[in-house]
Amino acid sequence: MDALLEMKGITKRFGGLTAVDQVDLIVKKGEILGLIGPNGAGKTTFFNILTGIYRPDQGNIQFNGTDITGFKPYQIANQGIFRTFQNIRLLKDYSVLDNIKLGLFRQTKAGAWSSIFGLRRSREEEKKVAEESWALLERLGLTDLANEAAGNLSYGNQRRVEIARALVSHPEMILLDEPAAGMNSEEVESLSALVRQIRQQGTTVILIEHNVGMVVELCDRLVVLDHGVKIADGDPNQVVANPAVIEAYIGGQEVTEVVGD
Amino acid sequence: MEGWINPYYLDIIVFLFINIILGLGLNLITGYAGQVSLGHAAFYGIGAYSTAIFSVKIGLNPWLSILLAVIITFLLSAILGLPSLRVREDFLAITTLGLGLIAQSFFKNAKITGGAYGIDGIPMPSIFGHELTDVEYLLLVFIVLLVLIYVLHRLSRSKLGQAWTAIQEDEVVAQSMGINTLYYKVLAFAIGGAFAGVAGALFAHKVSFISSDTFGFTLSATLLSMVVIGGLGTIRGTLFGVSVLYLLPEVFRIFDIKIIDPNYIDTYKMILYGLLMVIMMRYRPKGVFGRKIRHQKRAVKD
Amino acid sequence: MLAQQLLNGIALGFTYILIAVGLTMIYGVLKLLHFAHGVIYTVGAFSAMIGILYLNMNFIVAILFGMIIAGIAGVLVERLAYRPLRGTHPITTLISGVGIAIFVESLFQAIFTSDPRGFPATGMKVEPIHITSSISLTNSKLYIIIVGLVCLLLLYAFLKWTKMGVAIQAVSQDMRAASLMGVNVNQVVAVTFFIGSALAALAGAFVAYDFNSLFPTMGSIPGLKAFCVVVLGGLGSIPGTIIGGLILGIVESLSEGYLTGMVIDKDAIAFVILILILLLKPSGLFGKQVEKV
């Protein structure tokens, strides 16, 4: 299988603290990869490095054959890596539909002039964006909420809309930051189904998650971070049985939040 | 026609339209793209001085001067906007304010802008050798206003508008959706500044004499209050906010209402604006015509 | 000549410091750019004038009176214009602050007219003190330096050794944690506004006395320059603000002496510095590197 993403020796320091320390990671195309670890392990920092919010102090990131180390967040998105956020970040005062349309931003081209003069290309593009967004809402069963303010939705639906926004442009890879947080078991179930669907459409998935039961069942592979160091990488069932991982989780109870997470 | 319209009223309406154009540009920057600007008067001044310099000092045709002035304002707004855009939103207010003060100080001291004396004798544009009358100039300003309202409306629905919305609400999200936030912010400053450039050029040819006093902080702050009170991010809000707040003091002048000392109308006006800003932020932060969710229907497939 | 300019610059710097310290403390506690700080300076100067003119106070009492009135005004501004908006978008608070500034300034123009007026007779004449044959300083400027130094020392002692001072520092570090540990945040904010406003009033009153002139818009430029000082020194850092204030005062004073016929006014220099700092080192000269996001 092809490696879609290849990260080598990724290190990020904040002052004296090394949040991510010499992490190597290879993600294969079409994989569902779970990234777990105790609070403060550096998972979100890792996402922020991958999405260009932080620049790694050391290391190199190859995506789809392109060196994307040091790319700006918008350049990374344009390479086809989309993400959701741990604390849902929707445009709360805008409709669900407008939020989804935002996900298609990178695929539209009509600039200022053609919009001002209402040229055909820009009108066709507007139509296409609207239709694709509606189609996705339909698939997710959110059509009725299309014109609701995103901020008024239930927590679970906000998560779904955020995932939909990341998904609508059919990115190569999608990063989900604790998508199941605050969900009941039924919602987790439907979320897992959605993640499998995402993979079906050809998008590779990395997710950060605390719900170990869910990741073991859902992911092809698990990677464990502890204090910024990768301590395990492999088959989910084996990884969670790994004494080092168990130790990290138990020891991790006392570790207070330090970084990002 | 000139005979039966009080020229004073004509002037008020021309200046109202010019202020609305200014307000629309500021609303584009602050309301649509979320970048607070307390230096909008600088762009207005750049437009006014550019056309004055081209038409008076270089002797270009007024129409060409106006066109060049708008282009120059567009470019300078982009350049001046650049340093401001490196800072967080509340600091942007100070930086733009500082830029406004620097610009005004430049207008007052530089030789090219006529220093403290300003520039006089800015010609009225003419068509086929016929110099525009006051009524015709009013018509011209009105047409320009309509065009700019249309442009702003279209822009807000375009890819640019989408980018600005995202930037205003959450820059991190905007970036993670593939939006080059710096580019779109600079563009907002450039286009909003160009609106002010149009207003400034129209103003200069109307009054024929300009000096640095016009382009100060008071104007920037007044405009911001008008736009905010009307409602950020809506065209109706700017039309309403600027019209009501601009005309209110004029009403007192025109009808010669003696409740208050006429010499103090501008002071009372500012007291009211300031108070309204505070009250609005507390009770109706989205303004009189706050932006509402746009209801969209799914297109029926054929 | 140079020594003379430096001395004037230091005196000018102390007035900026007295205004800017309040801004920086308020920024520290609330992460808020207090746009109405300039009018508080004006309130201080006018209150002191009223104290002397109508309440028969002597100079020192009048200045204390101005500080108290301005302190109360500052607390009121926070109560009415900022506190109800806590937690909203920074732009909302900012516009509210600009609104207060416009309101108070215009109100003063309506009451006192826009024309400058002289500072009332204090029985203390402003006269030059000759340090050497060529270097002199007005006594009023000397008082500003001395009073400024005393105030900074008192402020230092207050922040370091009183319970309230420590609470202010705790809130500046982390408001949520401080409030969880039982600090009354609203009280801390009120005290911060009171102290900051009183110090600005002190500067306002002394400047009015020194220049023998006060007018309703006198606070707007110094208030804005204080922002430059705060940014220059690194936001929220009091030592940075002190150095930033001195730098601005000295640069302005030197520009007056050496650079004539500039394209911009002396008053615009602060903003040129501000923009350069924001471009080159946004965290200020002494600020900590702040992680965005």
Residue type, A112: A
- Do residues A154 and A122 share a domain? yes
Per-residue pLDDT tens over the stretch B230-269? 998 999 999 999 999 899 888 877 776 666 676 778 888 8
Q: Average model confidence (pLDDT) for chain B?
A: 89
**Residue A125 is part of which domain span?**
94-169
Q: Is the pLDDT of residue C214 over 60?
A: yes
pLDDT of residue A77: 94
* Structural domain spans, chain C: 11-116+132-219
Regarding whether A181 and A116 lie in a shared domain, the answer is no
Q: Which residues of C touch B230 (CB under 8 A)?
A: none
Residues 6+ apart with CB under 8 A from C14: C144, C145, C148, C149, C203, C245, C246, C249
pLDDT over 70 (residue A253): no
Do residue B158 and residue A118 have CB atoms under 8 angstroms apart? no
Q: Are residues A212 and A242 in the same domain?
A: yes
Residue A142 lies in a domain: yes
Residue A67 phi/psi, 5-degree rounding, is: -80, 110
Euclidean distance between CA atoms B6 and C174, whole angstroms? 62
Query: And the tokens for C50?
Result: 């009223």
The whole-angstrom distance between A176's CA and the closest CA on chain C is 18
Q: Within a domain: residue A86? A: no
Question: Which residues make Cβ contacts (< 8 Å) with residue B298, sequence separation at least 6?
Answer: A130, A131, A134, A143, A146
**In the prediction, which pLDDT does C259 show?**
64
Asked whether the beta carbons of residue A14 and residue C293 sit closer than 8 angstroms, the reply is no
Share of chain C above pLDDT 90, in %: 51
* Residues A139 and A176 reside in one and the same domain: no
Provide the ipTM.
0.88
Cα nearest neighbour of C293 on chain A: A53
The one-letter code for the residue type at B53 is I
Q: Is the pLDDT of residue A178 over 80?
A: yes
Q: What is the pLDDT of residue B243?
A: 95
List all chains that touch chain B, counting a touch as 3 or more CB pairs closer than 8 Å.
A, C
Residues A234 and A252 in one domain: yes
Considering only CB atoms, B295 lies closest to which of A103, A115, A147, namely A147
Binning pLDDT at 50, 70 and 90, where does residue A257 land?
very low
Domain count, chain A: 2
Residues A259 and A185 in one domain: yes
Specify whether A73 is located in the same domain as A182: yes
Strand ranges in chain A using DSSP code E only, listed in sequence order: 3-14, 17-28, 32-36, 58-63, 66-67, 81-83, 173-177, 204-208, 221-226, 229-234
Residue A163 domain flag: yes
In contact, A42 and A259? CB cutoff 8 Å: yes
Q: Are residues A69 and A177 in the same domain?
A: yes
Contact C98 B106 (CB under 8 A): no
Residue of A nearest to B168 (CA): A91
Q: Each residue of C84-123: pLDDT tens digit?
A: 998 887 778 888 998 999 999 999 999 998 899 988 887 7
Q: CA of B126, closest CA in chain C: separation in Å? A: 34
B38/C275 touch (CB, cutoff 8 Å), yes or no: no
What is the C-alpha to C-alpha distance for residues C130 and B246, in angstroms, rounded to an integer?
A: 54
- Residue A148 DSSP symbol: S
Instruction: Give dist(CA A137, CA A132) in Å, integer.
Output: 9
Residue C114 CB-density burial (10 A; 0-12 exposed, 13-18 middle, 19+ buried): middle
Contact of C291 with chain A, judged by CB distance below 8 Å, is answered with yes
Q: Out of A169, A190, A212, pick the residue that ends a domain.
A: A169
Q: Does residue A216 form part of some domain? A: yes
DSSP string, A134-147: HHHHHHTT-GGGTT
Question: Would residue A88 count as lying in a domain?
Answer: no
Res B146 pLDDT > 90: yes
- A106, A77 in Cβ contact below 8 A? yes
- The pLDDT value given to residue C113: 87
Nearest CA in chain B to A148: B293
Q: A26 pairs with which residues across the strands?
A: A6
* pLDDT of B1 over the 70 cut: no
Put residue C163 in one of left, alpha, beta given phi > 0 → left and psi -120 to 50 → alpha: alpha
Say if residues A201 and A178 touch (Cβ distance below 8 Å): no
The pairing of strands A229-234 and A221-226 is antiparallel
Report phi then psi at A81, rounded to 5: -110, 115
List residues bridging with A225 in a β-sheet: A230
**pLDDT classification of A131: cutoffs 50, 70, 90:** very high
pLDDT above 70 coverage of chain C, percent = 95
Q: How sure is the predictor about C291, in pLDDT bands with cuts at 50, 70 and 90?
A: very low
The per-residue pLDDT for A256 is: 41
More confident residue, A15 or C227: C227
Longest CA span, chain B: 67
Q: Which residue of B has its CA nearest to A151?
A: B293
Query: Span B51-66, mean pLDDT?
Result: 94
* Angle at which helices C220-233 and C185-211 cross, to 10°: 120
> A161 and A216 in one domain?
no
Nearest to C275 among B83, B89, B281 (CB): B83
C287 vs chain A: nearest CA distance in angstroms? Answer: 14
**Whether the Cβ atoms of residue B38 and residue B220 lie closer than 8 Å to each other:** yes
Average pLDDT in the A168-186 region?
Answer: 90
pLDDT band per the 50, 70, 90 thresholds, residue C62: very high
The per-residue pLDDT for C260 is 64
CA distance B140 to B182: 35
| Residue A73 maps to a domain | yes
Q: Which residues of B177-196 are buried (b: 16+ CB within 10 A; e: fewer)?
A: bbbbbbebbbbbbbbbbbbb
Alpha-carbon gap: A21 to the closest alpha carbon of chain C (Å): 19
What would you report as the CA-atom Rg of chain A, rounded to the nearest whole angstrom? 19
**What predicted TM-score, i.e. pTM, was given to this entire model?**
0.88
Q: Is the pLDDT of residue C292 over 60?
A: no
